[in-house]
Amino acid sequence: MSRRNRYAWDRQSIIYAIDLWHRRHLKTPTVAEWEQSGENHPCRATVQRVFGSWSAAMRAAGFRARRRGQPRDVWVRRRCPETGLWLAKQDR
């Protein structure tokens, strides 16, 4: 594919791609996961160029950014037996 035919990723489309990732995987992507996941989203360098940093992109998408090396919180999702709504319970 020539450079001219590539999609031009802007802030909104990158945020949408991050949100889609979150919906599919029920977690925010790490840089390593994002780089290995295929072609249906912008590359890491594009995300960092547009937002200034990976963490800034996660915050812009409405997620809490982790500091480098900080372990991911472990969450277990389950449905409320009364309402059927999703509940999140942190496992530690």
pLDDT tens for 29-52 read 888 889 887 778 899 999 999 999
The end-to-end CA distance of the chain, in Å, is 47
Q: What is the structure's pLDDT at 90?
A: 47
Q: Which residues of the chain have pLDDT under 70?
A: 1-5, 67-79, 86-92
Tokens 């915050």 identify what position?
Answer: 59
Q: Going by C-beta distance under 8 Å and a sequence separation of 6 or more, which residues neighbour residue 7?
A: 13
pTM of the predicted model, to two decimals? 0.67
Which pLDDT score is estimated for 68? 67
- Give pLDDT, residue 25: 85
Among 60, 66, 62, residue whose Cα is nearest residue 10: 60
Sequence-ordered strand ranges (E) for 1-92? 75-79, 86-90
